[in-house]
Amino acid sequence: MSDSDEESNNSMDEEMKAKIAAFMEDVEDDDEEEAAEEEDDAGSDSDLKDLDVPSDLPVNTIDYLVIGTSDLEKGREKFTEMTGLKTGNLTAMRGGGGTKSVLCRLAGNVYIEIMAPDGTRTDGTPGALAKVPEGELIAFHYAVRSPPEAVNGMVPDSSWALDKITMVGTGSPLEFKEEDGPYKWDLTYLLNHDLGGCVPSFVNWRSNEAHPTCRLEDSGAKIKKVSVRVPEGHKVLGLLETVDGVKIVAGKPKLVFEIETPEKGKVKFEGKNVMGVVMPGYQDTSHQSYNK
């Protein structure tokens, strides 16, 4: 081998060593970056809060109360002024529902939903909420826990219509250690009874992890009374008598919610002839439940 060949080989060896060294440096940098990312991920996981999952969600009892207002920000300010309680993050109904809400947790895995119109819709629930005098809060509707199949047997009049929908949500994965989602829950509304929000809607949480109180701070408040006034002898009376925690009064349709709060004591919300919550499309002649 000539001296020139040996020098050439030595040069190639040095070049290869340099390339290998550079490659290994890149690998080490990548490993360090991955380790840093894993540390960040571990840190972010540790920052997430645990869900406060209820051990039991008994049926035929009140799950949530709906308080209506025409302006959500003014309504939630009024709510805090009246009750001393704070509300959670804003949520909006998807799919053109036309409403937005904030929630407040009460004792016993019950919550309040303060609901207001969202957007320009003037029919159904958004239209009814828009008519609430500015800054006022009214008792608007309430929901009872019951699976959809059980609701079928509760309907006291064949002329009433049932509107059923399955909702899907992912919880709050940026704040809480969520279970494998998405979560599902069923909503059932009874229509054509002319009593509006005095007739409850029904909710069925398919898993306890789906319940909103899992992600709400305990306010220290509790339901004191839910009073439902309906005409004497109305067919809905039999249904209402099966619901725990509802006081039935005879007379013109009216809802009364009374809660007891740590700071303000007893606070009352009332609503006369309220429409209650209905799904988008109600009052539209093409809607499946219209005039049935």
For residue range 180-194, list pLDDT tens digits in order: 779 999 999 999 999
Confidence grade of residue 287 (pLDDT, cut at 50, 70, 90): very low
Structure confidence at residue 26 (pLDDT):
52
What average pLDDT does the structure give for the chain? 85
* pLDDT of 206 above 70: yes
Calculate mean pLDDT across residues 279-283. 66
Structure confidence at residue 17 (pLDDT):
53
Strands (E), 173-282: 183-191, 201-205, 222-230, 247-250, 254-261, 265-272
Measured from the Cβ of residue 258, the count of other Cβ atoms closer than 10 Å reads 16
Structure confidence at residue 285 (pLDDT):
44
> How far is residue 71's CA from residue 232's CA, in Å, rounded to a whole number?
34
Calculate mean pLDDT across residues 6-34. 51
Structure confidence at residue 218 (pLDDT):
95
Residue 216 CB-density burial (10 A; 0-12 exposed, 13-18 middle, 19+ buried): buried
Structure confidence at residue 282 (pLDDT):
57
> How far is residue 56's CA from residue 110's CA, in Å, rounded to a whole number?
12
* pLDDT of 34 above 90: no
Structure confidence at residue 228 (pLDDT):
98
Q: How are strands ordered across the β-sheet holding 91-92?
A: 91-92, 99-106, 110-117, 62-68, 138-145, 201-205, 183-191, 161-169
Task: Report the CATH fold assignment for 62-272.
Answer: 2,3-Dihydroxybiphenyl 1,2-Dioxygenase; domain 1 (3.10.180)
Structure confidence at residue 97 (pLDDT):
74
pLDDT per position as a tens digit, 48-93: 999 999 999 999 999 999 999 999 999 999 999 999 999 998 887 6
Structure confidence at residue 204 (pLDDT):
98
Q: Enumerate the H helices of the chain as residue ranges.
A: 3-47, 72-83, 124-130, 148-152, 236-240
pTM exceeding the 0.85 threshold for the entire prediction: no
Structure confidence at residue 241 (pLDDT):
95
Q: DSSP class of residue 200?
A: P
Structure confidence at residue 62 (pLDDT):
98
Calculate mean pLDDT across residues 209-234. 96
> How far is residue 105's CA from residue 248's CA, in Å, rounded to a whole number?
24
Calculate mean pLDDT across residues 28-44. 49
pLDDT per position as a tens digit, 225-276: 999 999 999 999 999 999 999 999 999 999 999 999 999 999 999 999 999 9
* pLDDT of 4 above 80: no
